[in-house]
Amino acid sequence: MLYQVYPRSFQDSNGDGVGDLPGLLARLDHIAGLGVDGVWLSPVFRSPMADFGYDVEDHCEVDPVFGTGDDLDRVIATAHRLGLKVLLDLALSHTSDRHRWFCASRATRTGPFADWYVWADPRPDGTPPNNWLSLFGGSAWTWAPERQQYYLHNFLARQPDLNFHSPGVVEAQLEVVRHWLARGVDGFRLDVVNFYAHDPALRDNPVRRDPTPLDAVLPASPYGFQNHRFDKSRPETLSVLGRLRSLVDTQPGRFLLGEVHDDDMLARMAEYCAGGDRLHSAYAFALLGPEGGAGHLRAVIEGFERQPGGGWPTWSLSNHDVVRVVSRWGAGAPRTAFAKLMIALLGSLRGTVVLYQGEELGLPQAILDDADLHDPVAHAFWPVDRGRDGCRTPMAWTDHAHGDFTTATPWLPVPDDHLALAVARQAGDPESVLAFTRGFLAWRRRRPALCRGRIDCVDVAPPLLGLRRTLGPDTLVALFNLGPAPATADLDALGVPGAGAFDWVAPPDDRPLGTGARLALDPWRMAFGAPPRRT
C-alpha cells in the first residue's frame, strides 16, 4: 500500500504558506504509523507552477518552494529508516514552456532540439493541423510565431508535449530516471503514461459514438466527444515502457507505476503492465469517477481480471485530481462509517492500493470560495466545474489556526470541518477513522490472501458487494453493504465451500458477527469471513 503526499499541502516548515520537504520530513512518522509500505510524492521539481508542478522546468532540480535537493535526500533516507519506499511523480510526456529544451526548440526549425516537441504546419487557412483537443478545453495546438508552426499540448498551452518519436527525447528522459535512481529513489509514478506517443501522420480523431460522451473526470470539457485514437495510447508507447523497465530493473526492488487516462481504461491498464517488460503496475480513473455502487465496482473488478496478461493493477478511491470519495460516493451516508467502509474496501482489492493524504481522516471535499480557486481547470470551466482545489487543501494536524499546517496564510484555506477532523483530534479516539485505518492496515498485513491472493466477486445482490480472496488453501470473503438500509447475504449461495460455517468478523479487532447460513449487515458496514480456526 502507498500513501500519496501532495507536498504543497502536507506541512509548511518555513512560514510561506506552502508545504515543503522539511515539513514532510517532520511528518514522516505519521505516514509510517499508518502501516503503509511507501510514499508517492506529487511533483517537487522546478516549475513555474502553471499546473502546480506538472509543468516541469527541470526534472533534476527541486523547486525552491519545496526546499533543496539535500532536503529530498533527507526525506528519502529517513523514509528508508522508517521502512517506507519513496516514489517520485514524473511527468515525462510534456514539460513547461519555460524548459530550456522547449525554448531552444521554439526558436528555430534547425538545431539539436528542433524535433524534441511536436510541431506541425497550419492548414492552408491557418487553422491547426487537425481536430485534436486539449483535456483542459479548446484545441490541443498553439501557434508559435517564431517557427510559424503549431505545437501540441494535451493539457495547458504552457505544457508542450515532447516528441517521443525523437531518439533524443527518449534518451534524455531515461537520463532523468537514472539521475533519481542514483539518488536512492525506489520508483516512479509516471504521469499520463499513455500520452507519450502520438500518430506521426496527425490524423483526425473520430467522433465518439458513446451516448454519454463527456469525460467522467472533467465533465465540463469537450474532450470526451472524441475517440482518442491518434493523439494517445499509440503502439509506439510500448517500446518506451520497455526501455524504462529495462533501466529500472538494473536496480532490484524498484517499481514503475503508470497513470492511464484512456477511452478503454481497463484494457490499457492491463496492456501496460502485462508481462515483465513493461510497467510493474498501472492505474486508471475507473474507481475515481462519479459511479460508486456495488454494480459498478463489480464491473470494474471483473473487467480488469478478464483482461489478458494477468498484470498487477493499482487502485485508489481519491487523489489530487478528483473529488474526495467521502463526498463523491458518500452523499447521505454517515461520514465516519462511510470513510471506514472505503478504507476497508480499498484494502481488499487485488493489487497495489493508494491512500490519498487525508483519506485516513475521512476528510470530505473542501467547499471553497470563488476567490480561493487556483486550479487552471476551475479557471477554464467555472462555474460548472470548480476544479481540483477542493481535494488539495492543506492537512489539518490540530484544530488550531490553519490546522498547524503553517504559521502564515496557507496557499489554500483549511476548512473548519477539516479542523474538527484533525489528526490530533482523532489520535486519542478509538472509534475515529484514523484509529480504524491504523488498525485495519495492521489487520490486513496479517492476512496474506487479502494482500496477495486471487480475487473473485461473489454473487450477492446490490447494495452488497462480495469479494473472495484466495491464496493457496486460505480463503477470505469480504462483504460490503454500500447502501442505506440493512442487507442480508445468503451465505450458502456464495459459491464458497463451507461458507455457511464461516466465522464472520468486523475488523480491525475481529469483533464476532456470528456463524450461520445468513448474515445481516447494517448500512455502510463490512464483514470478513473465513473458515473456523482449528483449536
Active site residue 259: yes
User: Exactly one of 55, 57, 89, 191 is catalytic; which is it?
Assistant: 191
| Whole-angstrom distance, CA of residue 450 vs CA of residue 479 | 13
Give the number of other CB atoms < 10 A from CB of residue 276: 8
Give the 3-state secondary structure of residue 70. Answer: helix
Classified as helix, coil or strand, 267 is helix
The 10 Å CB-count burial string (b at 16+, else e) for 287-324 is bbbeebebebbbebbebbbebeeebbbbbbbbbbbbbb
> Which cell is 19 given?
508545504
Question: What's the rounded Cα separation, in Å, for the pair 172 and 282?
Answer: 23
Sign of CA dihedral 494, 500, 501, 502: positive
Is-contact 475 530, C-beta < 8 A? Answer: yes
Point out the catalytic residue in the list 12, 20, 259, 359: 259
Instruction: In whole angstroms, give the CA distance from residue 245 to residue 345.
Output: 30
In single-letter form, the type of residue at position 533 comes to R
Phi, psi of 34 (to 5 degrees): -75, -25
Q: How far apart are CA 512 and CA 496, in angstroms?
A: 20
What's the CA dihedral at 204, 207, 213, 218 to 10 degrees? 10
- For 468-489, give the secondary structure using H, E and C: EEEECCEEEEEEEECCCCCEEE
Hey, what's the cell of 303? 473487467
* Distant-in-sequence, close-in-space partners of 383: CB < 8 Å, separation ≥ 6: 370
Four-residue CA torsion sign, 113, 118, 122, 127: negative
Q: Which residue has the cell 529495462?
A: 246
Residue 107 C-alpha from the chain's centroid: 36
Distance CA 507, CA 75 (A): 32
Residue from 64, 42, 61 nearest 53 by CA = 42
Q: Which residues are catalytic?
A: 191, 259
